[in-house]
Amino acid sequence: MKSNTNEAKAKINAHILSYFEPENYGNDAPAIDNLRDQMKAFDYMPTAYNGGHYMVEGGTFLTYTQDMTNFLNSLGINPDGKEYPDHKIFEQYCHLIARQIAELMEF
């Protein structure tokens, strides 16, 4: 499966929004609103993609390479179970999360 399928995008969106659930923010706002509020802190970034990428690099989401590997594998985008160097796993995780944050910000 490719990372740009609707199924993969839905899993990535769910992953992102799970970090912004109301119980994590002490409010009643939907997760998407909490994400949008968080993204306001990055309004100096040229794009939502850049802001999302910065959030991933800063540790807002998964921080351990093995956790990132497990998440990426759960998307079904590595059916052969190929192993990648840590920096490639990190780059792919950052890109996919940032891409979906940018897409979520369009709605």
- 1 within a domain of the structure (yes/no): no
pTM above 0.85, yes or no: yes
CA separation for the pair 1, 82 (Å, rounded): 14
Compute φ and ψ for 89, nearest 5 degrees.
-65, -45
Residue 1 has what pLDDT? 59
- 78 within a domain of the structure (yes/no): yes
Which of these, 55, 34, 67, lies nearest to 98 by C-alpha position? 55
- 66 within a domain of the structure (yes/no): yes
Weakly modelled stretches of the chain, pLDDT under 50: none
Q: Which domain holds residue 95?
A: 6-105
Helix orientation angle between 31-39 and 6-18, rounded to the nearest 10 degrees: 80
- 91 within a domain of the structure (yes/no): yes
CA separation for the pair 4, 100 (Å, rounded): 10
Q: How many domains does the chain have?
A: 1
- 51 within a domain of the structure (yes/no): yes
- 32 within a domain of the structure (yes/no): yes
